[in-house]
Amino acid sequence: MKIHLINPNSTVGMTEAIARTARAHAGPGIEIMAVTAHGTPPSIEGYADEARAVPAMLDAIIAAEAQGAVAHVIACFDDPGLDAARAVAMGPVIGLCEAALIAAGRIAKRFSVVTTLPRAVPIIEDLGDRYGCGRALCAVHAADIPVLDLEFAPVQTLPLIARKIRQSVEEDRAEAVVLGCAGMSAHLEQLGRDAGVPVIDGVGFAIRMAAGLAATGLLTSKAGAYALPRVKQAAEAPPRLAPLTR
């Protein structure tokens, strides 16, 4: 079974780190096709980066299915283009935030998210509403670090994330903490060591969710919202209008 793991940003090192986590949790019979999107921002930090990343991500999903992928995982915690991805994919598509919040809600009554930059906070809060977290999602905290620092400056950044995890447990009374960035997945063991509560990375659970849906034969519905895009003929350019005169 081939599961397509798409990193919507263009940083190859981050793709490789996420892929190692995915393969460690994949289980027997699951092949991880890890792909880096091309021509996208080096990291996804906010709405504009998301929008720039989606077209290449959709192309990668279509190409992966042509190579035998039966399901997909979007390896970015903002779940960029998730609905659009489901519209072009035949197999199931799982978002990283979606998987992580579902996992947290199954093992804890209250949980918090620790992410990178403050601009990610409202995005994740909105996703929490979308996924029905309600009061279970206590808070979303930003460690105020650029995403790429997880790749290139972990010695400086990991203590800041660990501090926010402890803050979530102490101040939010969180019973579990979710790592709110795919780039944190490589550091799960270190970040969870002294937390005192489960620390959740969505990569492994997203892979298992995608594989489970595919194993039971479920495909993305093509009736209605996730119907395949219609083939359209380009319209002719409208005639130029004469300028308005007084």
pTM across the whole model: 0.92
pLDDT tens, position by position, 92-119: 999 999 999 999 999 999 999 999 999 9
Q: How far apart are the first and last CA of the chain?
A: 69
pLDDT tens, position by position, 227-236: 999 988 877 7
Record the tokens describing residue 179, joined without a space: 């790592």
- Does position 242 have pLDDT exceeding 90, yes or no? no
Q: How many CB atoms lie within 10 A of CB 110?
A: 18
Closest CA to 57 of 99, 11, 22, 5: 5
Residue 168 lies in a domain: yes
Indicate which CATH number applies to the domain containing 88: 3.40.50.12500
What is the span of the domain harbouring residue 110?
97-201
Instruction: State whether 118 and 196 are in the same domain.
Output: yes
pLDDT tens, position by position, 139-196: 999 999 999 999 899 899 999 999 999 999 999 999 999 999 999 998 999 999 889 9
Q: 51-55, 112-116, 199-203, 239-243: lowest mean pLDDT where? A: 239-243
- Is the Cβ–Cβ distance between 177 and 115 less than 8 Å? no
Record the tokens describing residue 35, joined without a space: 């792909």
Residue 220 lies in a domain: no
Please tell me the distance from the alpha carbon of residue 208 to that of residue 6, in angstroms, as a whole number. Answer: 15
Closest CA to 97 of 81, 119, 76, 115: 76
Q: How many CB atoms lie within 10 A of CB 69?
A: 27
Q: What total of structural domains would you count in the chain? A: 2
